[in-house]
Amino acid sequence: LSGPFFVTISGVTPLSQPLPLYTFPLLYPQSLPISPSKQIRGKVMSRDFSLPLISRRSRQKPRNSFILPVAALAIGMFVAFRTLSSSSFGNSRLLSTLAATRVQIPSISGVGSTRFSRQASASPSAHKNAPFAPVRKILQQPGGMRGLTSCRANGLNIDLTGKKAFVAGVADDQGFAWAISKCLIEAGAEVSLGIWVPALGIFKKSMQMGKFDESRKLSDGSLMDFKHLYPLDAVFDKPEDVPEEIMNNKRYAGNSDWTVSEVAKLIEKDIGKVDILVHSLANGPEVKKPLLETSRQGYLAAQSASAYSLVSMVQNFGPMMSEGGSVISLTYDASNKVIPGYGGGMSSAKAALESDTRVLAYEAGQKFKIRVNTISAGPLGSRAARAIGFIEKVINYSYNNAPIEKELTAMEVGQTAAFLLSPLASGITGQTIYVDNGLSTMGLAMDSPSLATAEEPEKVGA
């Protein structure tokens, strides 16, 4: 089925009792068998079969004629039969299909490195033992991107048609910012990028040479494109903040108007109001140093690039954002847990980012009527993450200790971001949302060597 559909039946029965208006869904997600005389909510429609009814209106008074209700019933059943006949049910009869067949659930594309599907089955024992147990199937992902395929999923679709988004922090096709951009475009949004000034030329060249073409593929087969590409260095708010050594740096040569305030003005001129703002920026020049060895300059540099940059972006973009707009950033669980090796003040910067998210949610919500959230993502083997030097070990640790035993993908973060940035999340603000396969909930490393040698505790008798 391409989506849920509803058939409405209205009228009175040939009996003395009126038949209220019932609405029953033919839904694919639940994979529950529909059997005779079971799961009835409301009145049985006949002695031969029944349907799980989820809504009914107040009972109507009996009418003198039941010709129109019978006609409505016939039309409704005909529509349902024709719809089911054109779907995966084949040409089976409507009633026998509803009574004996488990509906096959379309698998969700791009949600992790594994894809789960529920197969059609008529076995009562299989349903009784594991009514929701999926069949695990490992899928090989195309290209070099870990799990980055389509972000479009069946069910409640996210519609961002006509929305304008600015995503700061894309440098290649491997990170969270790229995945978020892809999901926003899949949902219909118009996306412009802010790219670190020294990386802009390399990014444009890679796009032109087709190096990103595999990752650019959308669910309809087309290649995603971006409305505008802006040079951006979010460490600087205004032109007068830029030191001379940066202005004269050859890596910045040929670019202008790349401070936060200048980029905001350019975007307002080029595209008008912005509905979505994505902050995917972080940098710690001394990230490999323990905190005890971190200099003041290195510590403050991490705070400036990774935390205050969000404050600066909301300050400058907030006035030009649409009411009901949304801001999102990316954080890491080192904000409240000790991650040896993640140093240089970066853990402090992430803690500041999460605190600022809550304060900005209040202040920007009151002033600009927008929402502010952050996603605490699990480890991903992106090029930026490899800067800390031990990302593969962290990924393996997560795989072995997280409640969900699989490798996190960028697309899972992208899908969550698309939801938080959409009207579906209109009641969510000031929150840190964890997308880490549940690793943040764990307090004990199950692969620790100390657990392997520890004696099992004695079982307490009943």
Whether 168 and 232 have beta carbons less than 8 Å apart is answered as yes
Task: Kindly report the backbone phi and psi dihedral angles of residue 323, in degrees, each rounded to the nearest multiple of 5, phi listed first.
Answer: -60, 130
Q: CA 6, CA 23: separation in Å to the nearest integer?
A: 7
- Catalytic residue check, 342: yes
What are the backbone dihedrals phi and psi of residue 155, each rounded to the nearest 5 degrees, phi first? 115, -135
347 Cβ contact partners less than 8 Å away, ≥ 6 residues apart: 291, 334, 335, 338, 339
From 173, 232, 141, select the one nearest 383 (Cα to Cα).
Answer: 173
Choose the catalytic residue: 332, 397, 399, 434: 332
Gyration radius from the chain CA atoms: 27
> Catalytic pick from 252, 342, 397, 434?
342
Q: Which amino acid is at 107?
A: S
CB 327 within 8 A of CB 339: no
Query: DSSP letters of 334-365?
Result: GGTS--TT--TTHHHHHHHHHHHHHHHHHHHH
Distance of CA 200 to the CA centre of its chain: 26
CB atoms within 10 A of CB 3: 11
For residues 29 and 131, what is the distance between their CA atoms, to the nearest angstrom? 12
Pairing of strands 18-26, 371-377: unpaired
- Give the three-state DSSP class for 285: coil
Instruction: Please state, in angstroms and rounded to a whole number, the distance separating the CA atoms of residues 186 and 138.
Output: 24
| Under 8 Å between Cβ of 418 and 438 | no
Helix (H) or strand (E) run with residue 20 in it:
strand 18-26
Q: How far apart are CA 396 and CA 406, in angstroms?
A: 10
Q: Give yes or no: 230 in active site.
A: no
Q: Are 342 and 334 in contact (CB under 8 A)?
A: yes
In angstroms, how far is CA 9 from the centroid of its own chain?
A: 37
Q: How far apart are CA 117 and CA 16, in angstroms?
A: 46
Residue with the two structure tokens 């050594």: 245
What are the residue numbers of the active site?
332, 342
